[in-house]
Structure 1
Amino acid sequence: MLKKKSSYLFILITLSCLLIFSIILGISFGSSYIPVETVYHFLINKIFNSEIFAVDWKKNIESIIWEIRVPRVLLSAISGSGLAICGVLMQCITKNPIADPYILGISSGASSGAVAVIILGGSSMGFLGITSGAFTGALLCGILVFIIGTQYGKNISTVRLILTGLAVSTIFSSITNILVYSAKNSNQVRSAVFWSMGSLGRARWGEISIPFIALMTILLISILLAKSLDILLLGDNTAKMMGMEVGKIKTIIILSSTLLISILVAMTGSIGFIGLIVPHICRYFCGSSHKRLLLCSFLTGGIFLIICDTIARTMFPPRDIPIGIITSIIGGPFFLFMIGKNRYSFGGEK
C-alpha cells in the first residue's frame, strides 16, 4: 500500500491529470462525436479568450461544446466528488464500512419532493420546479433524521441515527409510491422513474455555481476536521478521553453532509454506489488518514461519474440511459469483488 508522502503526491498528480483527461473525453463523446483535438483547441481559446489555435470547426460545434457538454461534464465531476466525500464522512461517523451518502434517507426525501412536483402538476415550472421540490424534500428528510436521530444534537448514537434514517426513508419511499400510483398519465410516471434513477441531462451553466460552492465549502470543512475524523474511528469513548467534543463534531458532519447531498440529489436525482465504493478504492491506495482520503476521493469520485455519464450518453445515442443504472452495473460487481478480497474495511484490507 502506498502511504509515503512522495507516493501520495504522485497519486494526487496522476488523479488530477486523469480528471482533466476524463473531462475532455466526456466533452468529446456524445450523440455525435467531436474530435478530442477540436475540444482541446476550443477550450484553450475559450479559457484564455484568445485565438491561440486556428478556428477550423463549425460555429454550431462551439455551442454544443460550451452550452451543452461542458456544463454536464462539470456537473458530473461536482456530483461525483460530492458523493464520494459524503460517503467518507458517513462511513466515519457511523463506523460502518458499507455506509453511503444516502444512509440517512435523504435520497428518498428528494425523490418524494421531485415526484410530488411532477405528479401534482408543478412540473410546468420546468427543471427549477422539480429541483426546488427535490431540495425541499431532501432538506425536510434530513431535518427529521437530525431531530429524531440525534435529539437536536444531544445524543449522537450511531445505531439510533441509522435506524431513524431507515425509518424516515421508508416513510418517504411510501409517499413516493403513492404519488406514482396516483399519476394520471404514463408520461408523468416515466418522468418520475427517470428522475429517481438519476440524470445529468438538464445541466446548465446557471445551475452549477450553487453545487460547486457547496462542494468546496464542505470539502474545506472536512479537511479542517480531518484529525477529528481520524480520532472518531477509534471510538466515541476514546475520542472523549482525548478531549474531543464528539457530539459537536458529529453534528457539524451530519448537517454539512445533509446540505451537500440535498443540493446534489435535487440537481441530479439519486445516483448510487459512488459514495460507497470510491472511499474504499482510495483507502487501498492512500490509507485511512482522512486528510489524504478526502482529497483522493474528491478526485476519484469526479473521474468515476464522468466516465459513467459518458457511457450513459453513448451507449444508445441519441437517448440517455439514467446514470444510476450505469453506476449500479459498474459499482455492484466491483463491490462484490472487494468483498471477495476482504478489502472493504476502514484500512482498505480486512
Structure 2
Amino acid sequence: MGVTVPHRLIEPYPRFSLYNSPYPAHDDASGIDLYPDSNVAISPVEGVVRGSRTVGCPDREYAVDHDHVIAIDVDDDWATETGLVGGGPLTARVLHVDPSVERGDRVTIGDALGEMVRSGFFGPWVDNHVHLEFRDRDVDPYRASGSHRLTVGGAIEPVPWDGTGNVVETGSTYVRLDSPRLAGPHRSGANGTYAGLASDDGIPLDGGLTHYGGGGAFLTGTEVLGTRDTESSGSTTRTGPERAGTIDRPAGETLSLLGEPIGAAEKRSDNACLEEGTGWTTVTWRDVAVYANGDPVTGLSLFLTRRSDPGIKIVWRDHGLSVGDEVTVSIRPTDDPIRLGPGR
C-alpha cells in the first residue's frame, strides 16, 4: 500500500526529492526529502509527538557523527481533511532534525521541530533537509524499514535544458548553474507549481544522475516546454524554450537526456506509484557518464522546485570554477559508471 502526500503538506518547502539519495528509503520512494528556506526544521504534519531518538551515523569531517529520529502520530481528522491518504492511522518519521519538541507536544504544519543537523549520512554537496516517511501506527517508528511507498499529489512541470549555463554558486564538491530556467508563465512562491529537469521528451526527472544508480520519473500527460529538434541515434527529440503541447508516456520506456539514453522507467507495479499511468516511477540509470566542459564529473543532482530559476547542481569535486564561468554538459556511454554508496 502507498501513501499519497498532498500538495498542501509540502507547500512550506521550496524543494523536494523522492529519489536523490543512495539510501533504501529513496530506492522505492518510501521517503521524501524536504528543503526549507532556513535551517529551522518545520513540521510537515499535524499531530502529537510520540518521542525521539538519537542515532549514530558515519563520522565525516564536514558533518556531525549523530542524527535524530522524531516520531509524530498524525492526527486522523487532519489527515483526512488534507488528503493524506493511507490505509489507516499513520506515524510520521522525521530525520535530520535536532528536536526542540518533546513527547506529548502537539504540532501543526509550520511549527518548529528544531534545528536541522548536517548529518554524516549526507554527501558533502547535499543541502540540509528534513527527511519524512510514513508508516502504520503499530509499526516501530525507530526501525529503519517499514515505511509506505509515497507519491506526491499534483502535477510536476517539465523544464527542458540544452546542457549549457553559467555558474551562480560554488562549493568544494559542486557548482550550481543559472539554467535551466522556466519559460513562459509560471507561478512561483508559496503556492507555485513544482518543476523538474525534463528528459528529451518532456518527462520530469529526480535523483542523482547517475551516481546513485537509480532515480525517478513523473509520468503523466505532461506539458512539454520545447520544440527544438535534435538528432540522436536516428531519433528526434524535442527540447527548447517554447511550449509544445501535451504528451502521454507509459512506464517502461527508455528515457534520454541531451541526446543520450540514460535509463528506463519501471513498469512493474511494485516499483511504481502509478494511478492510471500517472505518478512517480523508478528509473534505473544506464551505464553513462556525465561530462562538464569535457571533464568527467560525479553527476547531476536533480530535485523538484517551485523556484523560477531551478538551475542544475553538478556534483564536481575540485572543479576550479568561479561564479560567472560558462559550463557545457554532455552525457556519454561508459563501461565504468560512477556509483556512490551512502555518504560518499
So what's the TM-score if we normalise by structure 2?
Answer: 0.27
The structure with higher relative contact order (CA 8 Å, sep 6+) is: 1
Kindly name which structure, 1 or 2, has the bigger radius of gyration based on alpha carbons.
1
Comparing both structures, which one devotes a greater share of its residues to strand? 2
Comparing both structures, which one devotes a greater share of its residues to helix? 1
